[in-house]
Amino acid sequence: MISRSDTGRTGRPRGRHRSALTAAACFAALLTGCTQAGPAGSAAATGPSAPAGPEAGTAPGPERGTGARAQGRTPEGTLLVADFGSDTVTFVDPDKGPIDSVKVGTAPYGLAVGADGRAWVATAEGVAVLDTAARTRLAVVPYRTAGLGPATYGEYRGGGMGIALAPDGRHVYVGVNVPGGKGTLEVVDTQTLKVTGSAGTGRRPFDVDVSRDGSQAYATGHDSFDVTVVATDTLDTRRIEVAPYGTEGGLGSWLKPHYTAVRPSDGRLLLPFEGEKLVVVDPGTGRSTVERMTANAHQHGAAVTADGTLLVVGTGPIDPSTDEGPSLTVRAPDGKEKVIPLDGPHEDVTVSKDGRTAYVTGGFTRDGHWNGITVVDLDAGRAHRLPAGQRPLGIAVL
């Protein structure tokens, strides 16, 4: 339930404005937005030929890095990015660029890094496990979910999307997309490297997050306008609709949730929409409130720092005649925002350990992606590009 409505800067109801987009505006938005699943072979679904995935139940042996520094140990502060347009992750020096890459599996999407230095990467055919210090793939844990189709590339491919690690490091939760249907949340035991359970989610689980105490996992269903709350002990589920503009248009709507951040202060879920509305969800009651945002751009990736600062990636306009271009919103805990322009679409974001620098991936799930990241000085608002793998999406600081 939304507690209050919000309006745009012109004073007109933004929900009404958005639902009335003309066909011409929607066509222009294809460069920067999200819509319903396209057919195989469409621009959104194409990519390099997919390498063969692992046989069900197998865990491939080590796959070592091949870069110039493959024999060295990975320095602290190195960035790890998932190469959605390839079958690798890339290790990136935040000052100089790529230093190495490791094969993990087809079209890696999200990733999570534990305190033990292992990274967990959601690929099209399984969760890859990496030793980030040695830059070595240790295993691939195949999915149990049926109906994923062949391991391939593009926004609508089957397999893992959002992924998160439990606070105690004992389990990994991965959102698995089933093309044409509802998704699942699979649970991986980090010691046995086996899938130990699963729960149903909404369609295309773009993002997965975990509560501070580890008792709940949250799967953000892009195509079903919802967050699925999963009790991690029983795998019981509850659906919370998150649709501040309504659900008109269904699968063809642009106004869907993408990524969620868990607010450190109270465990509320933060879901940004269109640089206009921040939906704040109480996962216990399912009740929502809406706060105003100011970027006026289609929004995807979100991250929150320990002090509650929210960073949100604006990919660009849905309607170029009324909306703003790509940006990074830096929203303080009191709601004050700084909007930093970016050059071209981006997808996801993370922050340096000192909180002074943001790293924004240029992969983007739709057309307009590029092979790098943007490094943003959050104090000065300055940004510059850095090469980083092939269509990088998920990102973490090691």
| Chain centroid to CA 36 | 18
On the CB side of 308, CA atoms within 13 Å amount to 11
d(CA 275, CA 316): 10
Confidence at residue 72, expressed as pLDDT on a 0 to 100 scale: 81
111-113 and 118-122 beta bridge pairing: antiparallel
Confidence at residue 254, expressed as pLDDT on a 0 to 100 scale: 92
Q: Count Cβ atoms within 10 A of the Cβ of residue 266 and give its class: 0-12 exposed, 13-18 middle, 19 or more buried.
A: exposed
pTM of the model: 0.87
How far CA 138 is from CA of 90, 92, 133, 170, 334, in Å, comes to 16, 20, 12, 17, 43
The pLDDT profile of the chain, 398 residues, written as one tens digit per residue, is 333 233 333 333 444 344 434 333 443 333 334 543 332 323 333 333 333 333 334 445 566 676 544 568 999 999 999 999 999 999 999 999 999 999 999 999 999 999 999 999 999 999 999 999 999 999 999 999 999 999 999 999 999 999 999 999 999 999 999 999 999 999 999 999 999 999 999 999 999 999 999 999 999 999 999 999 999 999 999 999 999 999 999 999 999 999 999 999 999 999 999 999 999 999 999 999 999 999 999 999 999 999 999 999 999 999 999 999 999 999 999 999 999 999 999 999 999 999 999 999 999 998 889 999 999 999 999 999 999 999 999 999 99
Cα angle at 127 between 31 and 153, to 5 degrees? 30
Q: Count Cβ atoms within 10 A of the Cβ of residue 181 and give its class: 0-12 exposed, 13-18 middle, 19 or more buried.
A: exposed
Decide: 101 and 83 in contact? Cβ < 8 Å: yes
Confidence at residue 157, expressed as pLDDT on a 0 to 100 scale: 98
Confidence at residue 255, expressed as pLDDT on a 0 to 100 scale: 96
d(CA 26, CA 20): 10
d(CA 90, CA 109): 12
Confidence at residue 379, expressed as pLDDT on a 0 to 100 scale: 95
Confidence at residue 42, expressed as pLDDT on a 0 to 100 scale: 30
Confidence at residue 367, expressed as pLDDT on a 0 to 100 scale: 83
Q: What are the structural domains, with CATH classification, of the chain?
A: 14-34+64-397 (2.130.10.10)
Q: Give the DSSP letter string of 255-305.
A: ------EE-TTT--EEEEETTTEEEEE-TTT--EEEEE----SEEEEEEE-
Confidence at residue 323, expressed as pLDDT on a 0 to 100 scale: 97
**Dmax over Cα atoms in the chain, in whole Å?**
59
First to last CA, the chain: 38
Confidence at residue 57, expressed as pLDDT on a 0 to 100 scale: 40
CA dihedral 118, 123, 125, 129 (to 10 degrees): -10
d(CA 107, CA 83): 7
The pair of three-digit structure tokens given for residue 196, joined into one six-digit string? 């130990």
CA dihedral 56, 61, 67, 72 (to 10 degrees): 140
Confidence at residue 280, expressed as pLDDT on a 0 to 100 scale: 98
Q: What share of the chain is helix, strand, coil (3-state, %, to 5)?
A: 5, 40, 55
Decide: 359 and 347 in contact? Cβ < 8 Å: no
